[in-house]
Amino acid sequence: MAKSLKGRSLLCLKDFTKEELEEFIFQGEKLKIDYYAGKKEKLLDGKTIAVLFEKPSTRTRISFAVAIHELGAFPLILETSNLQLVRGETVPDTAKVMGRMVQGIVARVFAQKTLEELAEFSGVPVINALSDFSHPCQALGDFLTIKEKKGKLQGIKLTYLGDGNNVANSLLIGGSILGLDVSLGCPKGFEPAKEVIDMALHFAKKSGSKIEITNDPAEAAKNADVLYTDVWASMGQEAEHDKRVAIMKPYQINSSILSHAKEDAIVMHCLPAHRGEEITDEVLDGPHSVVFDQAENRLHIQKAILSLLI
């Protein structure tokens, strides 16, 4: 276990070196082998981990609850709608109380600032299970999947099509640190924020990766090893759904877009999928899709993150 990771929080991939991100992935690979061998190491035996939800969740809720349980800890699942936060208690006050009673906090929230306050005032490791800014656990699970399917990460071309959202941010930042070539095809006005692009370009100089941001989906998909997409309207953007669908239709992953990628390209989606919008049934259920292997790997990477940090 990497001593340097113990006690740290995972709020954004930018806070970790290439070697540290590789340590998460290596640990995920190891724990997946153990899982299929029937070995369950109780690496968090006797601990309690709070799992806090402001947003709905399927894969994150299931994977963290199972991961915490199988590592020997108790998953304390909390909905913010049932906490005193909804009656005006501050995040710092809540964090101070939680930090005295649990050994780690996993939080799926709207604002990145909420995670920063939880980490600052709780005194225990805080894991970002999604914010509007980033989704580091998803991206780490995705890199585990890509390595599993392609045998490496360095030099792999990862193409993301659609909305430059929190998942796109984490793939861009994490990919540039790990040495993947990351190409984003987004409509005008839907690219990631300049600060995220600048961050990725900075990391790419060190890792040797290539970063491309384009409004041309076919150009982005050209010679891709991995095609990746996400829903076009994230949680909290439902009112913009129809407008976004009209704008993003050319960015759908379908057989036509797939033809621009490499013959052995894999297709990824963090789910839930709006079939017929950002991806077609033909592709999602087709031979290039690794979407459900990708979903399973959330369990193994959550175990890796928890065991290394807590």
Catalytic site includes residue 269? no
Ligand-binding annotation for 135, yes or no, is: yes
Beta-bridged to residue 105, according to DSSP, are 50, 126
Ligand-binding annotation for 137, yes or no, is: yes
Catalytic site includes residue 135? yes
Catalytic site includes residue 186? no
Ligand-binding annotation for 275, yes or no, is: no
Ligand-binding annotation for 294, yes or no, is: no
Catalytic site includes residue 103? no
Ligand-binding annotation for 112, yes or no, is: no
Can you read off the two tokens belonging to residue 295? 């979903």
Task: Select which of 108, 269, 288, 300 is catalytic.
Answer: 108
Q: Give the integer Cα–Cα distance in Å for 232 and 252.
A: 10
Catalytic site includes residue 285? no
Catalytic site includes residue 61? no
Cβ within 8 Å of residue 81, ≥6 positions away:
none
Ligand-binding annotation for 61, yes or no, is: no
Q: Give the integer Cα–Cα distance in Å for 20 and 96.
A: 28
Nearest in space to 301 (alpha carbons), one of 146, 167, 165: 146
Task: Select which of 8, 269, 288, 298 is catalytic.
Answer: 298
Ligand-binding annotation for 114, yes or no, is: no
Task: Select which of 12, 132, 135, 163 is catalytic.
Answer: 135
Task: Select which of 12, 186, 230, 244 is catalytic.
Answer: 230
Ligand-binding annotation for 271, yes or no, is: yes
- Binding-site residues for L-ornithine: 166, 230, 234-235
* Residues tagged active-site: 108, 135, 138, 230, 270, 298
- Binding-site residues for carbamoyl phosphate: 57-60, 84, 108, 135-138, 270-271, 298
- Binding-site residues: 57-60, 84, 108, 135-138, 166, 230, 234-235, 270-271, 298
